[in-house]
Chains A and B, each alone.
Chain A
Amino acid sequence: MHRAVYKVGLQYLAGDITGGNARCIAMLQAFSEAIRDYTTPAEKTLTRDLTAKIGSYVSFLIECRPLSISMGNAIRFLKNRIAKLPLTLSESEAKTSLCLDIDRFINEKIILADRVIVRHASTKIRDGDVLLTYGSSCVVEMLLSHALELGKKFHVVIVDSRPKLEGQSLLRRLVANGLNCTYTHLNAVSYIMHEVTRVFLGASSILSNGTVYSRVGTAAVAMVANAFSVPVLICCEAYKFHERVQLDSICFNELGDPQAVAKVSGRGDVNYLGSLGNKDNLQLLNLMYDATPSEYISMIVTDYGMIPPTSVPVIVREYCRDQLWI
């Protein structure tokens, strides 16, 4: 077990790193370091042995925390690059080539993609807008900071929810930048929605039927926005697209800690469930993700442009499978 992979796994387990992009970047950097320190054992080929090693690292990471879809796509890319290494390369050349590939993936698919998305989406923000966002998405945060730099005048509503309360760190950073913000919880979203002009949301992944797979609560925000005829824009990099189809939130999800629903961290006195929590016919459910149907989405902003949700399978077919992420 390489120490960088071990450290990243521990950070996932403890919840030190959250968010699809950050987890993917951390994992790829750890793999890059592991590849740099790797030496082929005698009597073995680099491709087969390195693929097996990466497989073992991935199993360890899965034990710490189930993989996000972005991480799964990145691992498929890496295994594909290892399999495509020409046999004539020496070991050090192969290792440098792989590390360069990983760097290029991070740069092109995440960093530059984010810049392109931010540039496109900031054209959709006009002066006087009231924008709403849910939870903490790094692309949406970059978009809001960029729009502020461009000098646009707008107001942001951050909707947050228990138990993770991810919106608070986003709120802190935006207020420190000088944005006018409103902070509220998910139970008030139907109240605040009549003032909102646009909704920007992030996504963990977008599936082939246009369903957006994102942090739990996103579906509720999108549906309320739809009811108020407010356009909903999803900002998502193309490397997060997946050819799977999911009809509801339950068939594929991640379970969080059930006690986090019953207890409030830092407040030991808030224990309203009490002994009721131990009963057999009560099960505490803490889902991490949910699925938003495509009819509630107005537009998806990706690094391939601004597309309607029905165009997602086109991008998956044209750009993702054949060219294999290059």
Chain B
Amino acid sequence: MDFQVVVLAGGFSKKLVPLVSKEVPKALLPVANRPVLSYVLDLLEQSNLKDLIVVVEGSDAAFRVGGWISAAYLDRLHVDVAPVPEDIGTAGALRAISHHLTARDILVVSGDLVSDVPPGAVAAAHRRHDAVVTATLCSNPVSGPADSGSSGAKDKTKKPGRNIIGLDPSRQFLLHIAAGAELEKDLRVQKSILRAVGEMELRADLMDAHLYAIKRSVLLEVLDQKETFQSIKKDVLPYLVRSQLKSEVLSNGAPQVEENGNDKVNSQSKRITQSQILANASNRSFHELYAFGPDGSASARRTHKCCVYIANNNKYCARLNSIQAFSDINRDVTGEANHLSGYSFSAHNNLIHPSAELGSKTTVGPHCLLGEGSQMGDKCSVKRSVIGRHCRIGSSVKIVNSVVMDHVTIGDGCSVQGSVVCSNVQLQERVTLKDCQVGASYVVTAGSEYRGESLAKKEK
């Protein structure tokens, strides 16, 4: 329906080291034993948006992502993987692929989004008001207990991803958006917008889901004119919201009044009557009222609309942009939001693959996932965790609140709590891990105890 979808799949994110590695770019990080990119692609496939462009930073990562997509989605979707140079930001990535964009509107989705917000509803809100940009907002996901050690500098003031959003009374238009570093400074609100709309609702409990619908002509114009814009969320979107009543991006503003000939005057007056009939019958937004000026005549003020779609409370929406978020999303997808995972859970509320072997007296609690070909020894206990494929887990192992990826060997007597263990890792006997992240192919020596650390192989 005239929408082109661009999925920004990132590259090797620095925030997610050591989970990401040369073999596993961020887009292919497993959530509930499926790459995180597959959630976005499934959501788009369900909404019948089958022509996609996936943008990946770095040609290595692009190669791997492309390989996985063509294997998994061979006939279901038509995907173009476009590699872009690293670290150019989301706006830079769009600039790099701008010659591929042909449709009238572009739907920009972040590749690390795990959600069931229907893109069709966002598209409908965008089209209904003929908006220039439509953002998707949803309520903040509940975060688990924060890692004490691994989240770097202790940020007591704000959790990551906090925004201040200004909405109009009908909650359809976006009047103000401030995020991240700007939150520490004073909040500056445009007086003209406030005067035009009358009442603005400021909310701090909404999260930006990074699902934007943008008009292509406006997007290309903004990217051309403003060379310094790097990020859609931090630069492009606030710029468009700030300038919505003093639009500089629309090349088709209010219709010009022609002045020559009687015929033109006649048809002009007919057109005026026609537009008056339409205008009187419809609900005008504050943009139109502002553009028409206080005396009712069409003045030269051009406006554009920034709409917003607020997802229902029962929709799940989360972004994989930190290690804490990774654990949270894994926990949610096996727990409350298990309709997203696409698997059907057993009566015990967990999913054990038929080819997995459990030893005697091994318990697997609810909200767990056990991948195919995994073997567990005797007297093990698994609670609220995700275990990948082909793992060999010894006896008397306790795994609580953790994510274990594929091909992991865990020796006897280990205890893994609140941790992330990547692929091909070997944990020898009696290792205790608490709130740690173990990078790929690492070997943890026997008997060691680690709390809140990040273990990874040294790159040679």
Contacts and interface: CB of A to CB of B under 8 A. Distances in A.
Interface of A: 1, 3, 6-7, 10-11, 14-19, 21-23, 25-26, 106-107, 110-111, 114-115, 136, 138, 141, 169, 173, 176
B278 interface: yes
Given A11-B128, A22-B277, A111 B270 contact: yes
B104 A10 contact: no
Interface in B82-135: 104, 124, 127-128, 130
Contact of B128 (A16, A26, A107, A111): A16
B128 A21 contact: no
Contacts of A16: 128, 282-283
Interface in B265-311: 270, 273-274, 277-278, 280-283, 296
Contacts of A17: 278, 281-282
A229 B438 CA distance: 91
B1 interface: yes
Contacts of B2: 3
Given A1-B1, A138-B281, A14 B274 contact: no
Interface string B31-67: 0000000000000000000000000000000000000
Contacts of B280: 19, 22, 136, 138, 141, 169, 173
A3 B104 contact: yes
Interface size, B (range): 10 to 19
Nearest to B124: A10
Contacts of A1: 1
Contact of A7 (B127, B281, B283): B127
Nearest to A3: B2
Contact of A10 (B128, B281, B283): B128
A176 B289 CA distance: 14
Contacts of B124: 6, 10
Given A7-B127, A22-B282, A114-B277, 11 more contacts: A7-B130, A10-B124, A10-B127, A14-B128, A16-B283, A17-B278, A19-B280, A22-B278, A110-B277, A114-B273, A138-B277
A26 B273 CA distance: 13
Contacts of A15: 283
Nearest to B281: A22
The DSSP consensus for interface residues of chain A is: helix
12 contacts: A10-B124, A11-B282, A17-B282, A19-B277, A19-B280, A19-B281, A22-B281, A23-B281, A110-B274, A111-B273, A114-B273, A115-B273
A136 B279 CA distance: 13
Contacts of B278: 17, 22, 25-26
A11 B130 CA distance: 11
Contacts of B282: 11, 16-18, 22
Given A19-B281, A22-B281, A138-B280, A6 B274 contact: no
Interface string B243-281: 000000000000000000000000000100110011011
A17 B275 CA distance: 12
Contacts of A110: 274, 277
B357 to A, nearest CB: 51
A7 B282 CA distance: 14
A19 B128 CA distance: 18
Contacts of A136: 280
A107 B281 contact: no
Contacts of A114: 273, 277
A23 B282 CA distance: 9
List the 9 closest A-B pairs by CB distance, nearest first: A22-B281, A19-B281, A10-B128, A17-B282, A7-B127, A3-B2, A16-B283, A22-B278, A16-B282
Contacts of A176: 296
A25 B130 contact: no
A3 B127 contact: yes
B127 A21 contact: no
B270 A21 contact: no
Nearest to B169: A266
Nearest to B2: A3
B180 to A, nearest CB: 33
Interface in B1-55: 1-2
Contacts of A18: 281-282
A107 B274 CA distance: 9
B111 to A, nearest CB: 26
A7 B128 contact: yes
A132 B283 CA distance: 24
A53 to B, nearest CB: 15
Contacts of B273: 111, 114-115
A136 B283 CA distance: 13
A106 B127 contact: no
Contacts of A6: 1, 124, 127
B431 to A, nearest CB: 57
Contacts of B296: 176
